[in-house]
A and B are shown apart, each in its own frame.
Chain A
Amino acid sequence: MIQKSDDVIVRTVARSLMPFILIYGLYVVMHGHYSPGGGFQGGVILAAGFVLLTVTQGIERTRQHMSQKTACVISSVGLLIYAGIGALCLILGGRYLDYGRLSQLLQVDQPTARSLGILGVEIGVALGVMAVMCIIFFSIFAADETE
């Protein structure tokens, strides 16, 4: 059973740290094609923010921001973005995830199109990973609760 932490210092610091964790996770996602990081790492950082919120503020407070249902929807959206970009390349006549083909659609040159395509896929992966990590955590918590 995970309860709200009774230490006011831990609770307050974790609470005010949460937006910074999220923005750091987004930074890791968005700069995945320049520096170490990417969709998987960024998604896990984002999910870690929600785990921190759960263990300090309790499950009820976390559900206001991320419920099980929202997490399910977000994970599906993430997969849709990933598969959608891949399929788009396929439709435009290239191979699956052949980002160069996107240059026709986006009206930019090939390298920029590849960069943007990778960014889109990273965002999709990050959303999926974050949501699935949250679902796993919530499920473990819920199994704990029913005992």
Chain B
Amino acid sequence: MEVTLLIEATENAFRILEEARSHAAGIMDTTIELMAEEHRIIEEKKVRAIFTGARRRRARFQNFAGTACILFVFWVLLSGHFDLFHLTLGGLCAAFVAYFFHDLLFVNVRVGDIRTVVWRFIRYIPWLLGQILIANMHVAALVLRPKMPIRPRIITFKTKLETDISRVTLANSITLTPGTVTIDIREGEFYVHALSHLVAEELYGGEMEDRVAHIFMEGDHLYVQDVLDASRIYETLGV
């Protein structure tokens, strides 16, 4: 009787040991799996870091090369000496300035876009010159008429241009066009002084903004928020 009990107890003990072993093996397997997973994630992160690092380096190099080219052209325009010595000096100076200040001229330009942006900007200039010519004649016609039918006003509109550089391009284009002057940009809102109804209408048309957005590859939206009629102010001032 005691012997059977002893045998049973031994068998139980063996069974428990066996279970414990399989449990341990299971835990070991899971641990190994987890470690492999973690390793994989770390590797992935490393690869991604290398990729973004390369992209950033590429963007920096593009900025550097673009700035250096423009500065070298500027140097040649200034210098007027075309011998090898002065051109070498110019190249060195342009490379030096571009290396230390590559983040000033082209900032906010998305990767791979510089050439497109520059090309589109160059194509935008003739259109702007045409607009300036038209507006010039309009303003001349206004002021040469004896009654001088100007209706000065300050118009406000919200722009959807996102980057500083595109907003500044639009603001300077508006200012360059006779009859309109950009007074201020505050939180994406343009305050523009317009000389007559017609030029104000033209601004609301938003063609200029669309073209600027096209240069800098941004969405094109424009909606008029408010119109302030400044003619009464001018009447009060007696202008």
**Residues of chain A having any CB pair with chain B under 8 Å:** 7-9, 11-13, 15-16, 18-20, 22-24, 26-27, 30-31, 34, 65
Contacts and interface: CB of A to CB of B under 8 A. Distances in A.
26 contacts: A7-B185, A8-B168, A9-B168, A9-B172, A12-B164, A12-B168, A15-B107, A16-B105, A18-B101, A18-B104, A18-B105, A19-B97, A22-B97, A22-B101, A23-B78, A23-B93, A23-B94, A23-B97, A24-B74, A24-B78, A27-B90, A27-B93, A30-B90, A30-B93, A31-B81, A65-B101
A27 B101 CA distance: 17
Contact of B164 (A11, A26, A34, A65): A11
Contact of A9 (B71, B81, B86, B171): B171
Contacts of B98: 19
A8 B167 contact: yes
B89 interface: yes
Contacts of A30: 86, 89-90, 93
B67 interface: yes
Given A7-B184, A9-B185, A15 B79 contact: no
Contacts of B167: 8-9, 12
B97 A12 contact: no
B81 A34 contact: yes
A9 B164 CA distance: 8
Contacts of A18: 101, 104-105
B81 to A, nearest CB: 7
A15 B104 contact: yes
Contact of A19 (B79, B101, B184): B101
Contact of A12 (B89, B165, B182): B165
B39 to A, nearest CB: 38
Interface string B71-98: 1001100110100001001100110111
Given A18-B101, A23-B75, 13 more contacts: A7-B185, A9-B168, A9-B171, A12-B164, A12-B168, A15-B105, A16-B105, A19-B105, A22-B97, A23-B93, A26-B97, A27-B78, A27-B90
